[in-house]
Amino acid sequence: MNTNQGNTAEIEAIKQVVATVGHAQVNELTEQFIGLFREDAIWTTGHGKRLTGREEIAEFTRTVLPGTFAGSGNTASYEVVHILFVRPDVAAVKVRQRYLGADGAQIGAEGSPLYVMAKEDGRWLLTANQNTLVAEE
């Protein structure tokens, strides 16, 4: 993982948010996922749907997340590959996202999300986020 600055505690806290994104998705914990966003967050899905504000993100998530992983044996892998601290309380976080079948083989295209996170009241929150699918070569 690359980073331009920042202390170990901040890096680990950011990694924990990303790990929670993956955990919440695999376990279909909709409210836990929604709780990771700022109230005024922006989220663009891997298919380009723009969602503005936690409530709109919540509405979308409540329709797509339940049933995605349940009983399938599939899982997800979210790996922080780069952190750029724009300021001590704002970080751009590049993530490698893969969906894996029960056999461990990748399912579908890899994702390359960019999460801009802001630290508020001691907590890192997802603020401006873009999910992007990696084009197959």
Domain ranges (residues) in the chain = 2-130
C-alpha to C-alpha distance for 92 and 106, rounded to whole angstroms: 26
Q: Do the beta carbons of residue 1 and residue 91 sit within 8 Å? A: no
Q: What is the pLDDT of residues 61-107, one digit of tens each?
A: 999 998 888 878 888 999 999 999 999 999 999 999 999 998 989 99
CB within 8 A of 116, min separation 6: which ones? 86, 90, 91, 92, 93, 126, 127, 128, 129
Amino acid code (one letter) for 20? T
| The pLDDT of residue 1 is above 70 | no
Q: How high does pLDDT run on average in the chain?
A: 92
CA angle 72, 110, 13 (to 5 degrees): 85
Q: What is the DSSP letter of 1?
A: -
DSSP H or E stretch at residue 19: helix 8-26
Average pLDDT over residues 47-64: 95
Fold of 2-130: Nuclear Transport Factor 2; Chain: A, (3.10.450)
Residue 6, by phi and psi: left (phi above 0), alpha (psi -120 to 50) or beta? Answer: left
Which carries the bigger pLDDT value, residue 91 or residue 2? Answer: 91
Model pTM score: 0.91
pLDDT of residue 137: 60
